[in-house]
C-alpha cells in the first residue's frame, strides 16, 4: 500500500537520482542539471513527440479542449518504489488564452499496468474538466478514489466517451518507443512538490499561486511557447 510517508520518501529518492551531466561545450566541465531542468526538458520532448508519434493519436486535438495538462516525461517501472512505478512531471493550466507557468508534481503507484516488456513510458494526463483540475490541486490526489472524478485510458472508445452524456474528467495518454503503453492510472497518487517549486522559483509559493497568479519566469518560456503552439 502506497502511504503518504512512502510517497514522500520515494519522491526524495527519485529527485535525488535524476541529476544528470550536461556538457556545455568542448573542453568545458560537465554541469549538473537540476531535477526541475530535467523534467522541463523532458516535458518539451514529450510535446515534440506528441506532434509526430502516432501512438498519441488525436491527443493534440484533445489538448486544445483541455483545462489542464500533467506531463510526466519518464514514468519508470520499478523506479519509484520496489515493484512499482513513478515519475516527476509538470502541471500547467489554461488561463487567459494561454498556458500557465509549470508547477512540479510526482505520480506514483504500486503498479500502473504497463504492458509486459515496457519499462518506461511518456505520459500525458489531459484534464478536461474544472472538477478534474480541482482534484489535482488537492494536497494528495488519488485517481479513482475521489467521488465524481473519472479517468479513462486512451483506447478505441475514448472518442465515444468524450462525446457521451458523462465525459471523463481526465484522459490518459502514454507512449513507449512509438507504442501505446496500455497505461492504467486508477489508484495512483498525484502530489504537488512544493520544495521543487520553491527551488525553481526562488521563493515559497502555493500551487495555485504558480498556476493562477501573475508569476512569470524566463526559465519556462520554451515550455510555455511549445504548449501555446499546440493549442
Over its C-alpha atoms, the chain yields an Rg (Å, rounded) of 17
Which grid coordinates belong to 193?
A: 512538490
Which stretches of the chain drop beneath a pLDDT of 70? 1-31, 53-58, 77-84, 110-119, 145-147, 154-165, 176-185
Q: What is the pLDDT at residue 20?
A: 37
What is residue 9's predicted lDDT score, i.e. its pLDDT?
A: 42
pLDDT on residue 157: 47
pLDDT of residue 62: 81
* pLDDT at residue 78, rounded to an integer: 61
pLDDT of residue 12: 40
pLDDT of 110-136, one tens digit each?
665 555 555 677 888 889 999 999 989
Amino acid at each position: 500500500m502506497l502511504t503518504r510517508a512512502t510517497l514522500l520518501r520515494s519522491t526524495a529518492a527519485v529527485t535525488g537520482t535524476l541529476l544528470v551531466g550536461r556538457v556545455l561545450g568542448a573542453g568545458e566541465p560537465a554541469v549538473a542539471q537540476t531535477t526541475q531542468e530535467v523534467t522541463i526538458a523532458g516535458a518539451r520532448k514529450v510535446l515534440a513527440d506528441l506532434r509526430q508519434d502516432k501512438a498519441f493519436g488525436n491527443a493534440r486535438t484533445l489538448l486544445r479542449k483541455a483545462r489542464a495538462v500533467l506531463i510526466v516525461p519518464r514514468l519508470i517501472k520499478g523506479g519509484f518504489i520496489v515493484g512499482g512505478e513513478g515519475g516527476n512531471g509538470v502541471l500547467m493550466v489554461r488561463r487567459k488564452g494561454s498556458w500557465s507557468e509549470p508547477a512540479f508534481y510526482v505520480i506514483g503507484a504500486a503498479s500502473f499496468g504497463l504492458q509486459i516488456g515496457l519499462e518506461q513510458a511518456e505520459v500525458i494526463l489531459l484534464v478536461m474538466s474544472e472538477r478534474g483540475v480541482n482534484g489535482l490541486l488537492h494536497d494528495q490526489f488519488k485517481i479513482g478514489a475521489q467521488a465524481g472524478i473519472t479517468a479513462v485510458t486512451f483506447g478505441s472508445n475514448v472518442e465515444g466517451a468524450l462525446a457521451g452524456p458523462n465525459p471523463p474528467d481526465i484522459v490518459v495518454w502514454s507512449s513507449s518507443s512509438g507504442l501505446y503503453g496500455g497505461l492504467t492510472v486508477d489508484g495512483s497518487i498525484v502530489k504537488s512538490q512544493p520544495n521543487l517549486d520553491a527551488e525553481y522559483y526562488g521563493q515559497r509559493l502555493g500551487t495555485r499561486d504558480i498556476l493562477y497568479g501573475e508569476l512569470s519566469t524566463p526559465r519556462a518560456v520554451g515550455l510555455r511557447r511549445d504548449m501555446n503552439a499546440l493549442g
